[in-house]
Amino acid sequence: MKKRTEISALGEFGLIERLMGTVGDDAAVIADGRNFSLLSTDMMLEGVDFDLTYFPLEHLGYKAVTVGASDILAMNGLPGRVLFGLGVSAKLSVEDLEQFYAGARRACSELGMEIAGGDTRASVTGFAIAVTTFGTVPKARIVRRSGAKEHDLICITRNLGAAYLGLHLLEREKRALREVDDPQPRFAGYEYLLERQLRPGARKDVVDALTGAGIVPTSMIDISDGLASDLLHICRASGCGARIYLDRLPIAKESYALAEELNIDPVVAALNGGDDHELLFTVPLGLQERVVQLGVGIEVVGHITAAGTGAALVTPDGSSIPLRAQGFETV
Amino acid sequence: MKKRTEISALGEFGLIERLMGTVGDDAAVIADGRNFSLLSTDMMLEGVDFDLTYFPLEHLGYKAVTVGASDILAMNGLPGRVLFGLGVSAKLSVEDLEQFYAGARRACSELGMEIAGGDTRASVTGFAIAVTTFGTVPKARIVRRSGAKEHDLICITRNLGAAYLGLHLLEREKRALREVDDPQPRFAGYEYLLERQLRPGARKDVVDALTGAGIVPTSMIDISDGLASDLLHICRASGCGARIYLDRLPIAKESYALAEELNIDPVVAALNGGDDHELLFTVPLGLQERVVQLGVGIEVVGHITAAGTGAALVTPDGSSIPLRAQGFETV
């Protein structure tokens, strides 16, 4: 009998490594004279990455551009064009797709991007979205996952876990309202969390601010899988360890409030929640004050350590908890 | 009530035009000094574009690269990199995906291309493949759909309808073997048709031969939707009409044989079958002998006519049958 390894046995990154030989950066790099072209593809699948019962199509289009642009920004690049490959089920109307494109256009306009084309196919199953993003970066300014050095500061932007908690809120309301005739979801006070899930913005402002200040991070990644998983990518690619400090993790007050209500650990949400599309990057130790003062919500949460020291979360009492990547479940 | 237009009411290209404002070329063009970058995205969805019960994964990987490379070649470009966005269901094993990549790598190696990365997600439904292809073309050599001029010759490569007939053969065997214990499909004599469906090659040899001869077509397109539909794209983009001659249509002898067996009109298969991934292009009238003598299977099937004259198939008795594009059904 043919050998059969379940994909879940390898995990998402184990699978990519096995298939591709390497996990690589957020975008493919195409060398072309003084500039590099950057290219990334992301898949977003109904039932896995979004639920159309509560995800408005306009927001989905907006988020698709954010997801793609974040990959380019994570290489310190300027996202320029986006192409959509859509698998469209008969459930969706033309107006639905116009809503999708309206949201995508709004995100593009905010980021100075353009929709360059794509492909649309009928789907017999759910709505499938492939987002391809093209960008450029001057050769001297490209940032990869592999450049972090011992003693570098670990920086993250804005706050973490909010998108994950927003998703939990939407799922709770979906369950609660299933049996109700005239549903009125109760989201009051948590609008911020919904926005972080349904309409996250790509952090072009952060890359612009770093560029304006003449700062080139030593490594960078888009936080899409959660801080723990994405920091482990940096450590692995750079051949280093990391220490991040629990009391430094930026978590929004709305995240604390909902986490308590839902009985979720807000730190777990911040470490493993994913979908935040904030940036995680490292800079040399001497730049601490300058990055914090850029005014774009950069927080220093830890530092890079020597190879072989592992990656860990340090609690206020000084104990170290090893960071683990989240699993990858095929369903 | 919100307005709801069924996607089938617009057709695939009507939909793209409504959403994007224009249908455009096979690939997006990014101007960058003396070279243009070309970028295309194609979606291939299980149950719509392929059936895993008879489509070996290695061939599917090979075909995915062909589909992507053809878009770049159709702009007279050199395909360079490919990225895959995969939505992977639990039905597929790691070995299956390795087969997929093995096929993709073989196609890349034949075409001088590289796999540059991608994204892999769990899918709750079928196998979804997004192929993103990146290529380049010198500014002076780019070919679009919009450059055909009156009196230009309409050229196609190799022959048409074989991929469509190969698909019919596979579907027939699938039905026939469903109830049989030890299925032995009967494909003898039709191997060529199976290969055209399961393992079509991208026509880099044609683009190389044209380039080597210093010939730049006035317009070009990849025949993915069928000759009729793709010629109508050229006519529309170029603002012209076309006449193609029934007795000039190149149809393989295996296609004639199977068409007769299955009671399918081989001309309909050639006009509307799609999936051939051959090239359709136009050149000035004076180049007839030169293109035919390139030795890469180029056939002249007709000529471009003035705007307002429509596109038609001319039968041997001199009557004109207007060409129509195929519909786009969401299922």
C-beta separation of A60 from A97 below 8 A:
no
Stated length of chain A: 331
Taking the C-alpha atoms of residue A45 and residue B88, their distance in angstroms, rounded to an integer, is 10
Within this chain, do residues A185 and A132 fall inside the same structural domain, yes or no?
Answer: no
Structure confidence at residue A110 (pLDDT): 97
Give Cβ neighbours of residue B51 (< 8 Å, ≥ 6 apart). B170, B171, B174
* The pLDDT of residue B98: 87
- Residue B4's DSSP bridge partners are none
CB A98 within 8 A of CB A57: no
Cβ distance A128 to B128 less than 8 Å, yes or no, reads yes
Confidence band for A4, pLDDT divided at 50, 70 and 90? confident
For A261, residues 6+ apart whose C-beta sits below 8 A from its C-beta are: none
| pLDDT of A131 strictly over 90 | yes
CB contact under 8 Å between A117 and B41, yes or no, is: yes
Neighbours of B59 (CB within 10 A): 22
* Contact check, Cβ <8 Å, A39/B132: yes
Contacts of A35 in chain B (CB under 8 A): 32
Alpha carbon distance A226, A229 (integer Å):
6
User: So what's the pLDDT on residue A328?
Assistant: 38
Q: How large is the average pLDDT for residues A173-186?
A: 76
Percent share of chain A, pLDDT over 70: 89
User: If pLDDT is split at 50, 70 and 90, which confidence band does A34 have?
Assistant: confident
Which residues on chain A are in Cβ contact (under 8 Å) with B93?
A: 4-7
A-chain residues within 8 Å CB-CB of B81? 28, 30, 39
Shortest CB distance from A15 goes to which of B5, B90, B94? Answer: B94
Over residues A156-160, the mean pLDDT reads 95
Crossing angle between the packed helical segments A191-198 and A253-262, to the nearest 10 degrees: 100
B24 touches chain A (CB under 8 A): yes
**B194-236 residue pLDDT tens:** 999 999 999 999 999 999 999 999 999 999 889 999 999 999 9
Q: In a mutagenesis test of the A interface, which of B35, B48, B50, B330 is the best target, namely the one with the most A β-carbons within 10 Å?
A: B330
**Quick count: other Cβ atoms within 10 Å of Cβ A60?**
23
**Is the CB of residue A6 less than 8 Å away from at least one CB of chain B?**
yes
Residue with tokens 């399918």: B264
Residue A75 token pair: 């290489």
Nearest CA in chain B to A225: B121
Could you say which of A98, A124, A130 has the minimum Cβ distance to residue B85? A130
Give the closest-approach CA distance of B242 to chain A in angstroms.
26
Closest-CA residue to A134 (of A85, A83, A81, A84): A81
Please list every residue in chain A whose beta carbon sits closer than 8 Å to the beta carbon of residue B9: 94
The pLDDT tens digits for A303-319 are: 999 999 999 999 999 99
Q: A160 and A113 in one domain?
A: no
Q: Examine the pLDDT at A180 and tell me if it is beyond 90.
A: no
Helix ranges restricted to H, chain B: 7-20, 57-73, 94-111, 162-177, 191-198, 204-212, 227-238, 253-262, 266-272, 288-292
Spatial CA neighbour of A45 closest among B236, B130, B47 = B130
Residues in chain A with CB shorter than 8 Å from the CB of B125 are: 45-47, 125-126
List A35's β-bridge partners, or say none.
A32, A138
DSSP codes, B250-315: ---HHHHHHHHHHT--HHHHHHH-----EEEEEE-GGGHHHHHTTSS-EEEEEEEE-TTS-EEEEP
Residue A150 has pLDDT above 70, yes or no: yes
Distance from the Cα of residue B151 to its chain's centroid? 25
Residues A87 and A186 in one domain: no
Asked whether residue B328 is assigned to any structural domain, the reply reads no
Among the candidates B96, B111, B141, a domain finishes at: B141
Find the residue in A nearest to B44 (Cα): A121
Last residue of a domain, one of A141, A168, A186: A141
* B331 close contact with A: CB closer than 8 A: yes
What is the domain range of residue B231? Answer: 145-322
- Edge-to-edge strands, sheet with A320-322: A219-223, A278-283, A153-157, A298-305, A241-245, A311-314, A320-322
Q: Which residues of B touch A49 (CB under 8 A)?
A: 121
pLDDT at A29 over 80: no
Identify the pLDDT of residue B183: 66
Look at residue B182 and tell me if it is in a domain.
Answer: yes
Q: Which of B167, B175, B202, B162 is nearest to B63 (CA)?
A: B202
Both A170 and A302 in one domain: the answer is yes
CA of B1 to nearest chain A CA: how many angstroms apart?
12
Residue after which a domain boundary falls, among B141, B167, B188: B141
End-to-end CA distance of chain A, in Å? Answer: 24
Contact A19 B125 (CB under 8 A): no
The tokens for A34 are 């003084």
Average pLDDT, chain A: 89
Query: Per residue in A228-258, pLDDT tens?
Result: 999 999 999 999 999 999 999 999 999 999 9
Query: B7 near B14, Cβ under 8 Å?
Result: no
To probe the interface with B, which of A3, A114, A132 has the most B CB atoms within 10 Å?
A: A132
Could you tell me if A210 and A269 lie in one domain? yes
| Same domain flag for A97 and A192 | no
| Confidence category of residue A20, pLDDT binned at 50, 70, 90 | low
C-beta atoms of A331 and B90 within 8 A:
yes
A278 touches chain B (CB under 8 A): no
Mean pLDDT of A165-172: 93
What is the spatial distance between Cα B69 and Cα B107, in angstroms, rounded to a whole number? Answer: 9
In a domain, A211, yes or no: yes
CATH number of the domain that A23 lies in? Answer: 3.30.1330.10
Q: Is residue A148 part of a domain?
A: no
Q: What is the DSSP string of B63-80?
A: HHHHHHHHHHHTTT-EEE
Lowest mean pLDDT among A23-37, A165-179, B241-255: A23-37
Put simply, whether A326 touches B (Cβ < 8 Å) is no
pLDDT at B199: 92
Residue B2, domain member (yes or no)? no
Rounded Cα–Cα distance for residues A149 and A237 (Å): 11
Residues B115 and B22 occupy one common structural domain: yes
Is beta strand A114-122 parallel, antiparallel or unpaired with respect to A78-88? parallel
Reported as a pLDDT band with limits 50, 70 and 90, residue A19 is: low
Q: Which of A56, A92, A77 is nearest to A133 (CA)?
A: A77
B276 with B299, same domain: the answer is yes
Residue A279's closest CA among A200, A181, A206, A192? A206
Give the residue from B6, B10, B19, B95 with the most A CB atoms within 10 Å of its CB, the best one to mutate.
B19
Residue A8's closest chain B neighbor by CA?
B90
Q: Tell whether A124 and A183 lie within a shared domain.
A: no
**Structure confidence at residue A11 (pLDDT):** 67
pLDDT over 90 percentage in chain A: 69
Partner B, chain A 119-138, Cβ-Cβ below 8 Å: 119-126, 128, 130, 132, 134
Residue B100 in any domain: the answer is: yes
Q: How far apart are CA B65 and CA B122, in angstroms?
A: 21
pTM, to two decimals: 0.89
Give the single-character DSSP code of A142: -
Q: Measured between CB atoms, which of B15, B43, B97 is closest to A85?
A: B43
Sorting pLDDT into bands at 50, 70 and 90, what band is A327?
A: very low
* Banded model confidence at residue A7, pLDDT cuts 50, 70, 90: low
**Residue B119: per-residue pLDDT:** 83
- Kindly state whether residue B331 falls inside one of the protein's structural domains: no
A18 touches chain B (CB under 8 A): yes
Give the Cα separation of B13 and B19 in Å (integer). 10
Question: Is the sign of the CA dihedral A10, A13, A15, A20 positive or negative?
Answer: negative
Residue B241 lies in a domain: yes
Tens-place pLDDT, residues B135-156:
999 989 999 999 999 999 999 9
Residues of B in contact with A99 (CB under 8 A): none
Quick one: which H or E segment has residue B219?
Answer: strand B219-223
| A184: three-class secondary structure by DSSP | coil
Of A30, A88, A98, which has the smallest distance from its Cβ to B330's Cβ? A88
Contacts for B1 with CB less than 8 Å, ≥ 6 apart: none
CATH classification at residue A167: 3.90.650.10
Assess: ipTM above 0.85.
yes
- Residue B311 CB coordination number (10 Å): 24
Q: For A36, which residue in chain B has the nearest alpha carbon?
A: B32
Give the mutation candidate from A41, A57, A133, A139 for the B interface (greatest B CB count, under 10 A): A41
B23 and chain A in contact, CB less than 8 A: no
Residue A31 pLDDT > 70, yes or no?
no
With CB atoms and an 8 Å threshold, state whether B94 touches A121: no
- How confident is the model at residue A15, as a pLDDT? 63
What does the pLDDT read at residue B302? 98
Cα B204 to Cα A105, B36, B78, B118, B274: the distances in Å are 35, 18, 8, 23, 19
For residue A291, the surrounding DSSP H or E stretch is: helix A288-292
**Residue A297: CA count within 13 A, CB half-sphere:** 15
pLDDT reported for residue A330: 29
Are residue B268 and residue B155 in the same domain, yes or no?
yes
User: For chain B, how many structural domains are there in total?
Assistant: 2
Same domain, A81 and A189: no
10-residue averages of pLDDT along chain B (331 residues): 70 65 65 79 93 94 96 94 89 87 95 87 88 92 94 96 94 82 78 94 96 97 92 94 97 96 93 92 97 96 96 95 65 27
Q: Residue for token digits 């593809």?
A: A41
CB contact at 8 A, A325 and A13: yes
User: Same domain, yes or no, for B36 and B157?
Assistant: no
pLDDT on residue A124? 84
First to last CA, chain B: 24
